Amino acid sequence: MMTALLIVDMQSALVRGAFNEAAVLSNVQQLIGMAREAGAPVIYVQHNHASFEPMMKGNIGWEIHPLLAPEPDDVRFEKEASDAFYGTELESVLKTRNVTSIVLCGLMTQYCIDTTARSALSHNFDVILASDAHTTGDSSLAAPEIIAHHNATLAEVVHPTRKITVLPSSGIIFR
């Protein structure tokens, strides 16, 4: 049994101006350090947006934020849907490495974090949502409300064999 760190869409164009940007960057950095120290896989997912130019593959905003730069041994995936499992090799890579749970962090809370968390359960993985390491911008609700709502409701998603646990970064242990 192993836990992997899944960093979703921490790309320059999305991070810039996101709610609590500096604290989230710091918390994701902390999680990366903890995962590497424990020998856990560190996996980056980058969104290839079809119409938002800064997030189109190859554009400067598409790149992983420089403070979170992947190392050569880290795994990187590109995706085109909110679900990091959809159309990617994520499930296969996790299973090959005997991963049974993922620590989830990144952007955007109400889209890619929410969808990937729920999808992970259906792909037979437990999820630990780092409550202070995901963020978004204002949308139909203010960003703090979106984040608080998802921290509360994702912990209550019902699944017969898997669960989503919500913890602050400092309380997460990689095994």
Tell me the pLDDT tens digit for each residue of 80-127.
999 999 999 999 999 999 999 999 999 999 999 999 999 999 999 999
pLDDT tens, residue by residue, 22-33:
999 999 999 999
Phi–psi pair at 5, nearest 5 degrees: -95, 125
The percentage of residues in the chain with a pLDDT greater than 90, rounded to a whole number, is 93
Q: Give pLDDT, residue 93.
A: 97
Is-contact 38 74, C-beta < 8 A? no
- Tell me which residues are annotated as active site: 112
Q: Are 151 and 131 in contact (CB under 8 A)?
A: yes
Domain ranges within the chain, ordered by starting residue: 2-171
CATH class of 2-171: alpha beta
- For the cut 80, the answer to whether the pLDDT of residue 1 exceeds it is no
pLDDT-based confidence at residue 146 (cuts at 50, 70, 90): very high
Considering all CA atoms of the chain, what is the largest pairwise distance in Å, rounded to the nearest integer?
42
Residue 51: exposure state from Cβ atoms within 10 A (0-12, 13-18, ≥19): exposed
Name the nearest CA neighbour of 35 among 91, 101, 79: 101
The predicted pLDDT at position 86 comes to: 98
| pTM for the full predicted model | 0.97
> Strand, coil or helix: what is 12?
helix
Q: Compute the residue count for the chain.
A: 175
Q: What percent of the chain has pLDDT over 70?
A: 100
H/E segment holding residue 24: helix 21-38
